[in-house]
Structure 1
Amino acid sequence: MKRTLTLLLGAVLAAFLCSCSLFSAGLAGDDSNETASPLGVPVKPLEVAEHDWWVSEGGKFSYVAVLKNPNDSLACLSPCLHVRIQHYDWSKAEDYIDVPLVVEPGSTVVSAGSWGIDGRGVASVDFVLDDRGSWEEVAPFSDEMYTVQNILLNKMLFDNSLTGELVCSGNIPIEGVGAVELAVVVRDSRGKIVGEATAFVDDPPIGRPVPFEAPLHVKDSFDDESCTYEIHARPSPPNNA
């Protein structure tokens, strides 16, 4: 489910939406590692379809991971992604966790973020889906559940950001929803990931535009004249939860 918009700077913006997931199933493995659900439908595990990480000039660590649900009719509820960071001297390691509320059938969900750790000492990063999560046979959400509009790239001396408005067209029938998380994937002209941004919109009213701003964290190779910006929207618990 996506909608494509054009930015003023000639870049292309895509808004991707996600939907959703009830029985426990492993979330890591290849397509042949199917598990039979209580519904009698074979389940293919979620995949980390794409990932990247980088360290900005100031030492900030950033990452992007794209999670894919290869099932046609089963949605996954509350999978758990680990972003495991190992430092060169092996004296320090971090394990950051992201738990999307849902990954709807045949869709992708983006996990992205930046942290103020000293990324210059990072030796390796692993993106691992653990065996938590549940599955449910569902109908897809409307592809107009979320839309974004009036997108602008704000260029400043040291930092850039994307601003725009989010419009929610209906209620998401999932327990725990109280916000919308926006994840921006920035790609260069060859399709490689060169940046990310995230923003939260708490409790958006139905049918009314809500402004948001997403600070960009980009690689040194970032070139705003040739980049594209994908905006992925997903239901989320309240940001202060």
Structure 2
Amino acid sequence: MAIIISSSSLNLLLLLFSLGIVASSATVFTLQNHCAYTVWPGTFCGNGIATLGDGGLSMAPGASVTFPVPPTWSGRIWARTGCNFDASGNGKCVTGDCSGFLKCPGGGEPPVSLVEFTIGRDASDKDFYDVSLVDGYNVGVGVKAVGGTGDCQYAGCVTDLNLNCPVDLQVKDSGSVVACKSACAAFNTPQFCCTGDHSTPETCSPTNYSQMFKDACPTAYSYAYDDASSTCTCSGSDYLITFCPN
């Protein structure tokens, strides 16, 4: 049955929309765990608009979860591994830990693979997104735009970097490599951290370590000024975020 809106009601609706009182449709994030093990995704909103999934949750292998994301949301999502939480949500993760809480009050502890988003104001505005290895790597992750317009590139790191991580970047647990540090975290020098005399795009170039990340994962950020080949845009899209993508 058709729904009829009077001209006066329609004018009121348009006025409320123009004032921002009626929100546009939310973007939808779908998280999938294709890893052979449980991951504990963490989420952090950088502009205080909304916390997705209360900041953290558990996802068994094969699990999927969906979140509505409001316009202008900006933040990050990552996978934690090897976690153990009590009934109150207190505990510890081997990688990606966020202050010992299931529901993260802030970002994850490096090294960690990050998904970063800034959502546009409406369906005609651009969303910006990337997968970043600037803080190191712990789990493969991919971002696929669904139903949007524009470039809408795939962003991600499908290769398991833990398998070929250089010895001086390795993080081990029980004898196994569980994460791969960034060169900045490992050596803390201006050259690797893009600080001091290396704090501009002109003075901070790729290193052998960041190039190794880039060769393995061409669509992921490998160092601080890797914008040109790593920042993706799309308009009016939903997003599929997959841990351990094929």
Bigger strand fraction = 1
Give TM-score, length-normalised by structure 2: 0.28
The structure that is helix-richer by fraction is: 2
Q: Which has the higher contact order (CA 8 A, sep 6+)?
A: 1
TM-score (norm 1): 0.28
Higher Rg of the two aligned structures:
2
